[in-house]
Each structure stands twice: as C-alpha cells, then as structure tokens.
Amino acid sequence: MQSIETILSQPLQIGPVTARNRVFLAPLSGISDLPFRQLAWKHGAGLVFTEMVASRELVTESRESQVRLRGDGIDPHVVQLAGREAWWMGEAARIAEAEGAHMIDINMGCPAKKVTGGYSGSALMRDPDHALELIEATVKAVSVPVTLKMRLGWDDDSHNAALIAARAEAAGVQMITVHGRTRMQFYEGVANWDAIARVRDAISVPLIANGDIVSRAAIAECIRRSGADAVMVGRASRGQPWICGELAGSDGVPAPGSERAEIALAHYRMMIEHYGEDVGVRHARKHIGWYLDTLAPGTSPAKKSAMMTARRAEDVLEMFAEALGDGTVSAALPAPLMESAA
C-alpha cells in the first residue's frame, strides 16, 4: 500500500490539465489574492485557485474583478467564478479563458450571507435545476476544463451534493470539490469526511476533499474515509502559504525560522506592489496578524496594535521585521515582484 507521502506527491489529471501534486490551495475570498497564490505556487502547492470572481462584475469590467482575475507566473491558472445567472457565468468564463485561465471553477460553496443572499455560492444548492443551468452555460462557453466546488448541502436535512455532482459530471464538469460541511454550519463543528464518500460513489471524475485539512495525518484519514483523489487546504494556509507544498512533500518548502520570516516580509512587499501603498497596507494587516501567530506568537499586543494601525508601508515593514527577528530588512518599497516559479 502506498504511503500518504507517495499519494500526495503524485500528479492528478483534470481533463488536459495536470496538477503537479494532490494538495491544492482553496479559493479564499480576501486571502488568496495574486501575491498569496504566487507564494503558495512557488512553494509547492499542486494547484492554486483565485479568489471568487463575481461573474457579472467581471463582464461589466469591475476593477476589483479584473484584479482578482490575474494569474501572473502561475501555470496552470485556475479562476473561480460565482454568479446566479447563466448568461453572466458563460460570458465571464469566456473572458477568463481569453485572459489565460487554464480551468474555470464554479463557486457553489461560499456560505457568506452577502453571497447567498444574492442566490449565489452555496445558495445554488437549494435549487439544483437552476444550478445546472449555470453549470451547462459555463461548460458550453469555454474549451478549458470546468470544475465545481460545493458543500454537502444547504443544511443537515438537504445533503444533495452527490445528486448535484452526478448531474454536473453529466453536464461536462471534470472535477468536483466538496467541503465536508453544510452551508448552515459555516465553519463550525467538524468536517464530515464520511459524507463526502457519497459523492465519490456518484462520480468518476476526480474528487477533492476540503474541510479541516491541517496535517498529513488528517489527510490520510480524510482520504481513507472520503475516497477523495486529492485534498484542498483552506484556513490552515493563513500565515503559512507554504503549507500545501509542505504537506505534499514538494521541493522548495522553506525551513522553519528565518526562511519563513523572509517569505512573510516578501509577501508584505508584494502586497504593496500589487495594490499600492494605501490599499496594500490595509489588506496586509490580516496577513501580518496570521504570520505573527505562526512565526512570532510572543509578540506583545502593543506591538501588534502598532503594526495594525500604522499607515506608512516602511514603518510597518520595519516593525514586522523586528517582530520576526530579521535584522536584514530593507525599507525600500516597493520591491520587485518575485520571479515566477518554474
């Protein structure tokens, strides 16, 4: 029997697209922006997914949607789209493909009220017929593989993931990801990996398990119980963009200590480069908090507060470097973007 390390290091085929290993970075709204994905990709993630891109906003040329669409230096580039109307989803998929997407992922899993309130995300699971209209429109619009991410169902009385997955595969979807919670659970409780196995029984395309993927031991148990072909890491990646590569046993994973501190500082510079100083400083605050929790948990509340309220990128960078124990930091900003991973 193969070891979990051997299983995770193997490539996975999704139509014509090859994932280089079987530990993927989840699409995380407000987190998996281009700088974060570039780092996760550089340090060994099997696939990385964009933040959720709103289909209508992309078609109407919203600046935020266009920024989220970028995939510089990442190949294959996977774009996740969200929406509630088939026409907008199809048009957005065409735009994403034209802009270089190698795969399109459909969001039917987001539990956020602002998303489900607009009948997108996991709210689509309440109306499988309508959901299939969106899936069919997306598949027909592009030549690249279309994949689907969803939850077990809306609540414990409506576990319909297996039904939707089977219909999605029949419509041409080439990979299914299931988060082992319902929408009403949000992120509470424990992911139900056994329930994901019902989806495994219903489909023949690759199945990806999501939810509580935090260690190799958890992955081994998840795969055993769910029958999944690969796993997707979500919240466990906060403050450690290298975790997917680490779990997959990839080359180039930074050693604990100064190497990881240097990546945290590089991430900060990349965010300033990507967003500009005003927006970048604000967007980076949550990442600084997660990095401090991971790499410098002894940082005092006063120092954390100073970093979270400072407005000049140079000031934040110097305080951040001091907290991480790196005395080599340069205050020069912005720094060039990292070189693309091979």
Kindly report the CATH number assigned to the domain that includes residue 144: 3.20.20.70
Report how far residue 326's alpha carbon sits from residue 329's, in angstroms, rounded to the nearest whole number.
7
Same structural domain, 284 and 230:
no
The ranges of the chain with pLDDT < 50 are 331-332, 334-342
Measure the CA–CA gap between 1 and 22, rounded to whole angstroms.
Answer: 17
Say whether both 272 and 142 belong to one domain: no
Domain that holds residue 106: 4-248
Q: Which two tokens stand for residue 136?
A: 């069919």
* Domain identity same for 228 and 276: no
Per-residue pLDDT at 118: 65
- For residue 239, what are its two tokens? 């403050």
Residue 62 inside a domain? The answer is yes
Q: What is the C-alpha to C-alpha distance for residues 36 and 40, in angstroms, rounded to an integer?
A: 6
Same domain assignment for residues 73 and 206: yes
E strands in the chain: 12-14, 17-19, 23-25, 53-54, 78-82, 103-108, 146-151, 176-179, 207-210, 230-233
**Overall domain count for the chain:** 2
Q: Which two tokens stand for residue 209?
A: 């398990």
220 lies in the same domain as 320: no
The token pair at 87 is 């026409």
Tell me whether residue 339 is in a domain.
no
Q: What's 189's DSSP letter?
A: S
Whole-structure pTM value: 0.93
Task: Report the alpha-carbon distance of residue 208 to residue 210 in Å, rounded.
Answer: 7
Q: Is 135 domain-assigned?
A: yes
Give the residue among 231, 206, 235 at the shortest CA–CA distance from 219: 231
- Collapsing DSSP states into helix, strand and coil, what is residue 11? coil
Question: 121 with 176, same domain?
Answer: yes
What is the model's pLDDT at position 201? 97
Residue 340 lies in a domain: no
| CA–CA distance, 321 with 110 (Å, rounded to integer) | 34
pLDDT of residue 327: 53
Active site residues: 110
Report the largest interatomic distance among the alpha carbons of the chain, rounded to a whole angstrom: 58
What is the separation of C-alpha 328 from the centre of its chain, rounded to a whole number of angstroms?
31
Q: Which of 188, 215, 248 is the last residue of a domain?
A: 248
- At residue 2, what is the residue type? Q
Q: Is the separation of the CB atoms in 92 and 61 below 8 Å? A: no
Q: Which of 248, 274, 300 is the last residue of a domain?
A: 248
89 with 160, same domain: the answer is yes
The one-letter amino acid code at 277 reads: E
Please check whether residues 269 and 205 belong to one and the same domain: no
* 338 domain residue, yes or no: no
Structural domain contains residue 331: no
Does residue 337 form part of some domain?
A: no
Same domain, 278 and 182: no
135 in the same domain as 99:
yes
| 281 and 183 belong to one structural domain | no
Upstream peptide bond of 76 is cis (omega within 30 degrees of 0)? yes
Q: Report if residue 183 sits inside a domain.
A: yes
The pair of three-digit structure tokens given for residue 215, joined into one six-digit string: 């260690």
pLDDT score for 133: 96
- Tokens at 11, concatenated: 């490539």
Q: Is there a single domain that holds both residue 160 and residue 60?
A: yes
Strand 78-82 versus strand 12-14 pairing type: unpaired
